[in-house]
Structure 1
Amino acid sequence: DFNFGERWIPTGVYSAYMSHLFNTQVSIVYSDSMDEYSAKCSMKTMAITDEYMVKGYYRHYDGMSLMKHALHNTCPDMMKSIGEDEHGNDIKVRDSEGIQLANAKIDEIRNGFSEWLEEQSDSFKERLTTMYNRKFNCFVRPKYDGSHQTFPGLDLKALGGKYGVKSVYPSQKDCVWMLLQNGGGICDHEVGTGKTLIMCMAAHEMKRLGMAHKPMIIGLKANVAEIAATYQTAYPNARILYASEKDFSTKNRVSFFNNIKNNDYDCVIMSHDQFGKIPQSPELQRQILQAELDTVEENLEVIRTQGKDVSRGMLKGLEKRKQNLEVKLQKIAYSIEQRTDDVVDFRMMGIDHLFV
């Protein structure tokens, strides 16, 4: 079962379905950078202006509008007036009846897509299935066996005394081995299966094996102190820098950043909020914005070649985004030229691996 609006399906398939449904030629275009569909029809038929029309208090939604909502899996937020206030302005509330009707029409479009696909030829369905399998079913999830690891320096006795940890679970060993093999990864274990210890062991092993020079663990404000305590208990001889609230006060922050930069810690541990306060170098900001601007310009070039098949709204949106990026780049270029201080930014700290 393929859903209407899935991004991997060629827009030509959606165009063919909507042309059949609306009894007119419908052209659909997808902008990857904006994650947005736009559509046009050669003529407005009764299906568009009547059968799939939903009339609201302030505006009407014809079949083309509802089709776009169906593609994006959204619903129009319809409002209606229930009177006027003392200033003569409309008192607006959500139009529940209109929203329900719009939802019903949108569901009809989405469900009709599956029925239309079933009616297509076997060769068409086979091509679409092959396309899906090549994109999503072409990978075999590897299995990792970390049973051979010994974790030098790990103090199981201390972990047992404080947390009741008698040994490292096989699942923890396998997960650490996966992180080491891939240079990172996702540890999607359930709550209570020892993800905190996995992070600590993986960070320490990366440092010990020379895979990372200065790893950093970022935790939630509520449990970051527990992460630091677990690491220190597991590896009592490790050089750990834990960022307290005092360290990140305005007057101490610069000194703390220099501390990270100038010392060879086994691991630096801090909260998400604290991490967000570490400045990025203007050069890196410029690099990121320039890459985004290049992507926008590429999309603009592609969209312009599509001519009348593209909505003016999509084109204007990309042009506005380009202008905003250019302004940001100009500001960063100016800040680089005028820079006189020696602020320690993230790049200068030597952090080369993040655990979140």
Structure 2
Amino acid sequence: IERRMASAGMDFVEPDQMVQFYRKRQRGVVKGTTEWLGLQDSIDQFRDTGATWDMFNTDTGFFPTRVGGKFTTKTTRKKIPGEEFAGKQFLETAEVRHRTGERFNINEYFKANRKKMLGRVTVESSMYDRTFVLKSDGRSIEQALTEAIADLPENIISEPLKSEAIQADKIVPPADHVKEGGLDIIDGALHRRVSDNMVPVDGPSVERVRGLLDLRNAVREVQRTQLTDAPEKDILSARKSLNKTYDKFLKKWGNTNDRSNASAMRGDPDYPLLKALERDTEAGGLEKADIFTKRVISPIKPVLSVETANDALLASLNERGTVDLAKMEQLSGIPQDELVEQLKGQIFQDPEDGWVQADTYLSGNVRKKLEAAQGAAEADPAFKDNVTALEKVQPVDLEAGDIEVRLGVPWVPKEDVQAFIAHLFDDVEVDVNYLDITSDWIVEVPAQASFALDEMVANTQKWGTNRYPGINIVRDTLNAKTPTIRDRVDSKTTVVNEKATQAARDKQNKIREEFKKWIFDDKDRRERLVRVYNDTYNNYRPQVFDGSHLKFEGKVPDKDFKLRPHQAGAVWRIVSSGRNTLLDHVVGSGKTATIITAAMELRRMGIRKKPMIAVPNHLLEQWGADFLALYPGANILVAGEKDFAPENRKLFASKVATGNWDAVIVAHSSFEFIPMSLEFTREMFESQVQALERAIADAVESGQQRRSPTVKQLEKSKLRLQARLKKVENKMKKDATVTFEELGVDHLFVDESQAFKNLFYFSKRTRVAGLGNPDGSFRAFDMFAKTRYMDKITGGTGVTFATGTPITNTIGEMFTIQRYLQTNVLEEAGIHNFDAWASLFGDDVTRIELAIAGGNKFTSKTR
């Protein structure tokens, strides 16, 4: 019972009141007490289950444990399932004037029934305003209520009826127009669609719901006539009928956006459509939307034929998002070989991906594409044109002076690092290994070399200190660590030796500068490394996306809303780029319209079947309204908070999985309640654990001992991953009723994606400002797991992040974005964790800053 109360959002002074209410027999009576300020919510809560017969407003003094509260006692009879709300509605407020001349709003019932206010009316001042309250008139609460309930109707309790458990003969098949979770009225009773059955439900007034459903049907008819380009007289007739139906509903039941109507349609996926019938006015009220006065949907007119090869290409791109030669031949009547010849230079046959646009083929990793084209040309001369075109767009090679190489970057071979150490320390021989999977540099010093280093001035003075040898500083520098020297005070306490620490750090900076000079001193080494850098990191040509050819079928006419060029280009990028997308669009640039349009284009072209959009909590309903304002005929599901209550998640999953939705819109906080399966999460971690185990096996086979630094570091990383997996498993097991995979989502849009920036990471760096907690948040991990799943099922094309502030604190947040959207790109570049990324694209800088506490205090910060 308490769970049912919580899922219904019920909040009473004493929870026992609602427990008592649920246990009452049908038509049993119970009195409940609720806060005056929460009275409307309380009425909404009872409407689905009970009939409110009377209310009494009482003095705050009757409830001394809630000082300053204003309470209302309600007497409620439990309804028979299916019975309409027969009690007084008490829905509106009314203005009253106190003898002081001040005006206050109170519930309309109390204005009409002053004797139900059991006390003396007065006005009190608080810190913020003047408040209308009741004070005791001398009677006790028992006496006041006893006298008041004497006026209640007699015989409102009847004999208990038989249980209303659902009987098989009361379940009927749904009508075709009723969506999963939708309401319908059958034989005068309210039913909800659950899978392929219409199940009787208790709930709001049947007549109210009937009015809402009639209104929905009238809207759908208007949309049908406009979408099919029906005769003008039919369009006008449908619009007139809609206005008449709406006006009738408004007069009897109020605005479709009113809370009572939202409550009546709770759980029905068509409510956002009814909500979109009204829009805000500048005065703060509501008015009819455009659908009541003008055409909002342009008919979809497919291209049946074209005259030229170029028009055939544009038609194919608009309809399919790809170069479809068979479709182009069908539209133009031009044979495919002639189409290829006429479109030479505009389309290319990618040896790996088939026919694509020129701007797509001649962008991205063009060095890799050139290598593939050269291989293909050796077998088929037809690809020579590809080679010629790709050679023209290769990035200009960077020279050695353009490349900054830091000690510890992953692309410098271990042999070169080993040679640098020999350069520093009189040709000492050490073993150097780089663990690609953990980004760890391991420097092992054999016993003979260790003895030599102990006596070497270069190690203890030139490149190191007597407290911190140079070979240790090199090891720290390779692994992005900063030397720190501590002195022991007692058996439990150490303190930083500032002077010795600074001396060691000065030597570290000296070693870094020496490496930069040494690395390109040798001609052969310079040419080899410059080639490696250009092929690995200077290989990308950006693509300019032009969406001007898109028609955006189903969108409101351009005269009502036209996408700006940058929005159309962004839509085309999402649809055609073959990659995940980050929309770094500032506030006011139209991210919402871009995402909505992209989702609809993905659906229209058949690229995606079920996009999901995760949005900030407070914008959930606004997103639903904006979606239908831009695409009035869209079939969307806006998932409310109650859909994610534990007992409702299966039903929600069924709605999503079985519905033909153009988009499913969920709030950020709710998104986390539908996690990935434990199986997928384990697979995600186990793949990394297995890679570490392979690295351990390879190290042992190559002669490394089990206790060698290389193997020990790999084992440590493996244990850390396994510990993180266990922590995640424990969290997920608490709430694993429905999994994300069950929903059938195949594209994920995330609005205001910076909310998920607190993603876990591994780093050897410590106390670097701006990096945040290495453990991250579960919310961010949940998002990460889902983006990995989307990559798996879409090949790295199914995630779109949108934010006006991708970087809020530190440039390191860019790495987090890349992990979400470009994991495959990072892995191809040999970047498996933050340290590898930072060694390439950033540098630690230590500086003196004013302490947060202010005053004359300063602190040393590494950023």
Structure of higher RCO (CA pairs closer than 8 Å, 6+ residues apart): 1
Q: Offset at 1:147?
A: 0.6
Do residues 200 (structure 1) and 596 (structure 2) align? Answer: yes
Q: What SS does structure 2 have at the residue aligned with 1:176?
A: helix
Q: For 1:18, which of 411, 418, 421 is the aligned residue?
A: 421
Q: Which moved more, 1:231-240 or 1:216-225?
A: 216-225
* Counterpart residue number, 1:264: 660
Q: Distance in 2 between matches of 1:285 and 1:18?
A: 42
Show the 5 A alignment for 1:213-232. Answer: 213-221=609-617, 226-232=622-628
**CA displacement at 1:129 relative to structure 2:** 0.6
Deviation track 1:245-269 (CA, whole Å, cap 9, x = no partner) reads: 3333344334333332232221122
Q: Which amino acid aligns with 1:278?
A: I
Question: 154, 157, 176: which one pairs with 2:571?
Answer: 176
Aligned amino acid, residue 64 of structure 1 = I
| Letter matched to residue 419 of structure 2 | A
Contact 1:3/1:113 (<8 A) preserved: yes
Query: Residues 610 and 664 of structure 2 are in contact (CA less than 8 Å); yes or no, is this contact kept in structure 1?
Result: yes
Residue 48 of structure 1 is matched in structure 2 by 459
TM-score, normalization by structure 1? 0.79
* Aligned-partner Cα distance in 2 for 1:156–1:287: 47
The residue matched to 2:536 in structure 1 has which SS?
helix
Structure 2 residue corresponding to 1:114, chosen from 509, 516, 532: 516
The two structures have a TM-score, normalised by structure 2, of 0.35
Equivalent pairs counted in the alignment come to 334
Hey, what's the Cα distance between the residues in 2 that align with 1:324 and 1:112? 35
- Per the alignment, residue 475 of structure 2 pairs with 68
Q: Indicate whether 1:238 and 2:634 are aligned.
A: yes
Task: Identify, as 1 or 2, the structure richer in helix.
Answer: 1
Amino acid at match of 2:524: S
Secondary structure at 1:257 match in 2: helix
Query: Which has the larger displacement, 309-318 or 288-297?
Result: 309-318
Q: Secondary structure at the match of 2:519?
A: helix
Q: Contact 2:459–2:465 (CA<8 Å) still a contact in 1?
A: no
Within the candidate set 428, 437, 444, 1:33 is matched to 437
Percent of aligned positions that are identical = 29
Q: 1:185 aligns with which of 575, 580, 591?
A: 580
Q: Is the 8 A contact 2:636 2:665 kept in 1?
A: yes
* Gap regions ≥5 residues in structure 1: 161-165, 333-338
Between the aligned partners of 1:314 and 1:289, the Cα distance in structure 2 is 21
1:247 to 1:78, Cα distance in 2 relative to 1, 3 A: farther
Who is 2:809 aligned against?
Answer: none
Q: Which residue does the alignment assign to 1:148?
A: 549
Distance 1:222 1:310 in 2: 55
Q: Secondary structure at the match of 1:38?
A: strand
Instruction: Give the distance between the partners of 1:321 and 1:10, measured in 2 at CA.
Output: 22
Structure 2: gaps (5+ residues): 1-403, 751-863
- The change in CA–CA distance for 1:4 and 1:153 in structure 2 (over 3 A counts) is same
Question: Measured at CA, do residues 112 and 34 of structure 1 come closer, stay the same or move farther in structure 2, by a change above 3 Å?
Answer: same
The aligned counterpart of 1:7 is 410
Q: CA deviation at 1:200?
A: 1.8
Look up the SS of the partner of 2:632 in the other structure: coil
Out of 102, 122, 128, the position equivalent to 2:504 is: 102
CA–CA separation in structure 1 for the residues paired with 2:539 and 2:622 = 40
Instruction: Go from structure 1 to structure 2 and tell me whether the alpha carbon gap of 1:328 and 1:2 turns closer, same or farther (over 3 Å shift).
Output: closer
Cα RMSD (Å): 3.6
Q: Residue 187 of structure 1: CA displacement?
A: 3.1
- Taking the TM superposition and a 5 Å limit, the aligned residue runs for 1:304-343 are 304-308=700-704, 312-322=708-718, 343=737
Distance 1:328 1:40, change over 3 A: closer
* Gap change, CA 1:226 and 1:306, over 3 Å in 2: farther
Given that 2:610 and 2:745 are in contact with CA atoms closer than 8 Å, whether structure 1 keeps it comes out as: yes
Q: Check conservation: 1:27, 1:309, Cα contact below 8 A.
A: no
Q: Does 1:352 align with 2:746?
A: yes
Distance 2:556 2:485 in 1: 61
Amino acid at match of 2:595: M
- Secondary structure of the residue aligned to 2:644 is coil
Contact 1:187-1:195 at 8 Å conserved across structures? no
Displacement of 1:330 in angstroms is 11
Q: Would the alpha carbon gap of residues 128 and 310 (structure 1) be closer, same or farther in structure 2, given more than 3 Å must change?
A: farther
* Residues 195 and 28 of structure 1, relative CA distance in 2, 3 Å threshold: farther
How far 1:241 sits from its partner (Å)?
A: 2.4
Computing the radius of gyration from Cα coordinates, the structure with the larger value is: 2
Distance across 1 between alignment mates of 2:557 and 2:486: 62
Q: Deviations over 1:303-334 (max 9, x none)?
A: 223435997344124335556778999999xx
